[in-house]
C-alpha cells in the first residue's frame, strides 16, 4: 500500500487543500492519503484550537474517497515535526510505502526542515507547483487554485463571503462556532 501524508495547519482547510488531495489520488500511484493537521506549529505560529481544525478537516475531506483525517500529531503531543510524524506513521503502518505531499515552496526551503535527509529516507516526496517556484523534476502535481488561509481568515473577520474558497460544510462549521470572528 502506498500512503500519502498531507500535513498542514489547515486554519481553515480550503478548496485548494481538497484539490491537492484529489490531484494526488488521480495523478499518482497513491492508494490513500492521510490528512494530518499539525498540533503545535514548529515555528510557534498561533493556530485555531486543534479540535476545531481537526473537525473542519473531517468536514472538508468527507467526500474525497481514500482520504482520512488523522489526529496523530495530537496523540504525539508537543511541537509538530514532520520527521516525528512520519516515523510514527511508518511504525503504525508496517509495510506501507509513504509519500509526503508538499508544496514546491516547502520543498525549495527543505534546508530549514529538521532532518530532511531522514524524511527522504522514510517517504517519497510528491510536490505540487506553486507560482514563481521552480524545483525542477521534483514537482509532480499541477498548481492548485491559489488560496491563502491567512487571507480567508481576514475575509471572515471582515464579514466578507468566502463560499468560493472554503467547502460549504466547513463554512457552516465556522459560522456556527464563531471561529475567526473575534481574532
Per-residue confidence of the chain (183 residues) as pLDDT tens digits? 999 999 999 999 999 999 999 999 999 999 999 999 999 887 778 899 999 999 999 999 999 999 999 999 999 998 888 999 999 999 999 999 999 999 888 888 888 888 999 999 999 999 998 887 776 666 678 889 999 999 999 999 999 999 999 999 999 999 999 999 865
Residue 167 placed within a domain: yes
- Please give the tally of structural domains in the chain: 1
pTM for the whole thing? 0.93
* CATH number of residue 71's parent domain: 3.40.50.620
97 contacts: CB under 8 Å, gap ≥ 6? 1, 2, 3, 124
Q: Cα–Cα distance between 71 and 6 in angstroms, integer? A: 12
Sequence-ordered list of residues with C-beta below 8 angstroms from that of 103, at least 6 positions apart, any chain = 127, 128, 130, 133
Judge whether 113 lies within some domain. yes
What are the backbone angles phi and psi of residue 155, rounded to the nearest 5°?
Answer: -60, -40
In a domain, 183, yes or no: no
Q: Is residue 182 part of a domain?
A: no
Owning domain of residue 61: 2-176
Amino acid at each position: 500500500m502506498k500512503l500519502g501524508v498531507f500535513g498542514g495547519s489547515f486554519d481553515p482547510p480550503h478548496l485548494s487543500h481538497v484539490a491537492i488531495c484529489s490531484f494526488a489520488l488521480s495523478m499518482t500511484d497513491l492508494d490513500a492519503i492521510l490528512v494530518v493537521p499539525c498540533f503545535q506549529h514548529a515555528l510557534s505560529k498561533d493556530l485555531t484550537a486543534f479540535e476545531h481544525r481537526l473537525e473542519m478537516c473531517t468536514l472538508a475531506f468527507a467526500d474525497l474517497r481514500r482520504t482520512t483525517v488523522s489526529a496523530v500529531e495530537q496523540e504525539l503531543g508537543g511541537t509538530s515535526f514532520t520527521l516525528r510524524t512520519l516515523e510514527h506513521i511508518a511504525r503504525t503502518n508496517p509495510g506501507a510505502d509513504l509519500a509526503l505531499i508538499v508544496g514546491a515552496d516547502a520543498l525549495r526551503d527543505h534546508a530549514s526542515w529538521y532532518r530532511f535527509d531522514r524524511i527522504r529516507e522514510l517517504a517519497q516526496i510528491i510536490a505540487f507547483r506553486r507560482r514563481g517556484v521552480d524545483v525542477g523534476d521534483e514537482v509532480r502535481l499541477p498548481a492548485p487554485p491559489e488560496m491563502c488561509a491567512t487571507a480567508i481568515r481576514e475575509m471572515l473577520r471582515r464579514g466578507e463571503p468566502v463560499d468560493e474558497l472554503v467547502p460549504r460544510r466547513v463554512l457552516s462549521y465556522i459560522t456556527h462556532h464563531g471561529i475567526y470572528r473575534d481574532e
